[in-house]
Amino acid sequence: MAIEKRLGAAVFWVAAAFAGLATGPALAERETAATVVATVNGTEITLGQMIALRESLPDQYLSLADDVLFNGILEQLIQQEALAQAHSQKSPRDKAVTINTERGYFSGLVISDVASAAVTDAALQKAWDEKYADYVPQKEYSAAHILVETEAEAKELKAELDGGADFAALAKEASNDPGSGEQGGELGWFTLNRMVKPFADGVAAATPGKVTDPVQSDFGWHLILVHESRDRPAPTLDEVRDVLAGEVEERAIAAKITELTGAATITKPGEGIDPALLKNNALID
């Protein structure tokens, strides 16, 4: 059965349990995660298991009254345990999925702990210093353009602009670039490496405040109006905090994996197995 179907069934069990609720037990204030709340053929269901299940529920269930939610979760776990016990013969698939799920869960916990511990103010500052210590300011430009299909159209518009026509108005009326055209041709601030080379060359050669002659690119013919240029400074730490945090986390996780696998005794007796066997689902059915 697909995982999605299993999850759907779990939601169904919760909904079904809520349909007919009994009064929940009165628990003392000093209960622990190990407190037994029910048994099914001798198998214990604990308060800790109920709390863990609550954490995984969709938000709509979390607004229910405590007693309603308690009974619903308890009934779901009882039903699941009864069903699980009915599946007494564990197939190779069952065992593999169970082991993989547990392995993935615990490895995820370690990764989460490592990542959380790695991201500190000091680590972020160090990452910023290393990344931008030799930063060379990039020149960026504020410009607008009008894009048309043919050189003849571009020359005709250029003549209108030279005669005093408003650039923004012509861009809205004639530009084939829907994104910038609606904004009067404005492209905002950009560095040349973001643009195709012919356009970038045209921008670099332009005189601020003066419309260029037609420039051809793969997109058509451009009339470019550069407003101004400036040196783009290195971003502040706050501006790149999330990016740096991701990089710090990745390095910390990679280091932890290297540390643990390096200290572990690892053998690979299956290296000679035919890789195509991965597609043989019958082996675990």
pLDDT tens track for 214-234: 999 999 999 999 999 999 889
The C-alpha atoms of residue 78 and residue 80 are separated, in whole angstroms, by 5
CB 66 within 8 A of CB 102: no
Q: How confident is the model at residue 30 (pLDDT cuts 50, 70, 90)?
A: confident
Answer yes or no: is pLDDT of 111 > 80: yes
Answer yes or no: is pLDDT of 16 > 90: no
Instruction: Report all structural domains of the chain as residue ranges with CATH numbers, in order of start.
Output: 3-88 (no CATH), 102-135+235-261 (no CATH), 138-232 (3.10.50.40)
pLDDT at 24: 53
pLDDT at 26: 59
Helices (H), 1-149: 3-19, 47-55, 59-62, 66-86, 92-118, 121-132
> What is the CA angle 249-255-259, rounded to 5?
145
The C-alpha atoms of residue 55 and residue 174 are separated, in whole angstroms, by 56
Give the lowest-confidence range in 10-14, 46-50, 83-87, 189-193.
10-14
The two tokens of residue 73 are 């979760």
The C-alpha atoms of residue 181 and residue 196 are separated, in whole angstroms, by 18
pLDDT at 10: 52
Q: How many other CB atoms are found less than 10 A from the CB of residue 166?
A: 12
Please report which helix (H) or strand (E) contains residue 142, including its range. strand 138-148
Nearby residues of 207 by Cβ (< 8 Å), 6 or more positions away = 226
CB 222 within 8 A of CB 143: no
pLDDT at 8: 47
